[in-house]
Structures are given as structure tokens and as C-alpha cells.
């Protein structure tokens, strides 16, 4: 790694992005049997999952969507897995569905910006599905 001028830090983007989102995802929800899925989801879990999405936006703005796409897709899968395998009240379920839509929308924009239109359209469809039901 080349020497950075005084006052500047030279950071490997991919390592930084992976480490940052890994930490955010790791604290997002408490583990269930070591697989990272909570048995009962509450407001605290929602806040942590929303913070994960906010972190993706921050990373996208700082480093570009190319480095963030796979992380956004993983975050979307995680929220869906929580919806499908956890217990939660209806109010939390509605918030989780909104989070799926928002995360899928972010994925759609990331793929759109990468000129991967078919994949972007698929995520746009995913983003609108929770609001239909």
C-alpha cells in the first residue's frame, strides 16, 4: 500500500466496505441457534435492520454502487429470511415488509446504475410486491 500524505489515510475500498457492512449486519439481530435469525423480532431489531440499510446508502454514496450491490442483496435476503422464520406482531411485520420494499428499491437502483436493466426490473418488481398484499 503506498504511503499516504500526512493527514490522509489510504484505505482499501473493498475491504472497508466488506468490514463495515459485516459489522452492521453482525449487530443487526441477535443469533438464533448460531445462524443470526432472532426468534422474536421487535422494535430494536427493526432499528438495527434500518441502520443496515442506511449504512448501504452511505457506502453507495462514498464508494459507488459497484462495491455495494452484493451487500445490498445480502441485506435484502437477511430481512426476507427474518420475515419467513421469525415471530413478530403485525405492526412489526408491516415494518419488515416496508423494509423489504425499500431495500429492494435500493438494489434496483444499484443494478440500474450498473446498466443491468433486467436485474433492476426484477428488484423493482420485488420492491412493489409487499405493498400489493
Q: Of 1-5, 48-52, 98-102, where does mean pLDDT reach its minimum?
A: 1-5
**What is the per-residue DSSP string for 67-99?**
GTHHHHHHHHHHHHHHHHH-B--HHHHHHHHHH
Whether residue 2 is predicted with pLDDT greater than 60 in this model: the reply is no
Residue 16 phi, psi dihedral angles, 5° rounding? -60, -45
Whether residue 77 is predicted with pLDDT greater than 50 in this model: the reply is yes
pLDDT score of 59: 94
Whether residue 132 is predicted with pLDDT greater than 60 in this model: the reply is no
Q: Is 18 left (phi over 0), alpha (psi -120 to 50) or beta?
A: alpha
Amino acid at each position: 500500500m503506498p504511503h499516504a500524505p500526512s493527514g490522509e489515510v489510504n484505505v482499501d475500498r473493498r475491504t472497508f466496505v466488506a468490514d463495515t457492512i459485516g459489522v452492521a449486519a453482525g449487530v443487526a439481530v441477535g443469533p438464533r441457534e448460531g445462524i443470526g435469525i432472532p426468534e422474536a423480532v421487535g422494535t430494536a431489531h427493526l432499528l438495527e435492520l434500518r441502520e443496515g440499510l442506511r449504512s448501504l446508502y452511505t457506502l453507495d454514496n462514498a464508494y459507488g454502487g459497484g462495491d455495494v450491490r452484493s451487500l445490498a442483496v445480502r441485506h435484502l435476503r437477511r430481512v426476507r429470511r427474518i420475515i419467513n422464520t421469525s415471530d413478530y406482531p403485525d405492526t412489526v411485520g408491516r415494518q419488515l415488509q416496508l423494509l423489504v420494499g425499500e431495500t429492494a428499491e435500493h438494489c434496483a437502483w444499484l443494478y440500474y446504475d450498473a446498466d443491468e436493466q433486467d436485474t433492476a426490473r426484477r428488484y423493482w418488481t420485488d420492491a412493489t410486491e409487499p405493498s400489493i398484499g
